[in-house]
């Protein structure tokens, strides 16, 4: 059931417009098909979520799900069933202002492979994956929407702004919606490189290079 939206602040209006804009961009570039994927933004007094079963390419600003600071649905369409994974990231990372979860092809493929390193699914093949994403652990499979994912995310999210949900896909938190989207794009593009070069002799960045990038560009989101 859709709940009528109250008068909104300029912060909320900007966040609504951003979710519509970035949702359309991600969908049109094939980064999350059909009604898959969900996004959220933390506001000063609550949260905005994409609605359940919505297509990110056709979001409507006025129908986005508005939740209060305690996570209660107060306006808009019913929110995504993936609330537990979003709230777990917000709890573990106080600086996070947005969370993006997609079913992007290559990152999801890595989440399905039995030999993907569970501690670091995305090896340091480029400096930008280190700068924008860091190490990406793979979490055990949990049914989509289950609250069982929350403790698994809380355990890893404080040290990792991105994770792969086993057999499901990537989740990224950022200090803004734009930052989360950019990090998600970097994760997917690097996952694509990893899949393209599987079985080849790949030259990874050295430990000293990774340490230098981490010290210089340490992620805060």
Catalogue the active-site residues: 82, 128
**Coil, helix or strand at residue 91:** helix
Q: Edge to edge, what strands does the sheet with 169-174 contain?
A: 73-75, 65-68, 46-49, 38-43, 98-101, 169-174, 162-165, 138-139
| Main-chain phi, psi angles of 41, to 5 degrees | -135, 135
Give dist(CA 66, CA 68) in Å, integer.
7
Radius of gyration of the chain, Cα coordinates, nearest whole angstrom: 17
On the CB side of 213, CA atoms within 13 Å amount to 18
């Amino acid at each position: 059931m859709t709940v009528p939206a109250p008068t909104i602040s300029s912060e909320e209006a900007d966040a609504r417009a951003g979710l519509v804009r970035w949702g359309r961009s991600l969908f049109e570039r094939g980064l999350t098909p059909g009604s898959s994927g969900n996004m959220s933004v933390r506001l000063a007094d609550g949260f905005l979520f994409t609605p359940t079963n919505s297509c990110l390419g056709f979001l409507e600003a006025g129908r986005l799900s508005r939740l209060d600071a305690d996570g209660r649905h107060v306006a808009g369409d019913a929110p995504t069933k993936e609330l537990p994974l979003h709230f777990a990231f917000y709890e573990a990372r106080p600086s996070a202002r947005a969370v993006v979860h997609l079913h992007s092809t290559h990152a999801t493929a890595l989440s399905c492979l039995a030999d993907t390193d569970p501690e670091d699914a995305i090896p340091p093949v480029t400096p930008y994956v280190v700068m924008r994403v860091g190490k990406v652990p793979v979490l055990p499979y949990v049914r989509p929407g289950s609250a069982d994912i929350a403790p698994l995310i809380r355990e890893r999210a404080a040290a990792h702004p991105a994770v792969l949900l086993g057999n499901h896909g990537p989740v990224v938190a950022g200090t803004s919606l734009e930052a989360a989207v950019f990090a998600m794009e970097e994760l997917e593009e690097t996952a694509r490189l990893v899949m393209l070069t599987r079985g080849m002799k790949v030259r990874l960045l050295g430990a000293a290079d990774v340490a230098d990038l981490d010290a210089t560009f340490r992620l805060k989101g």
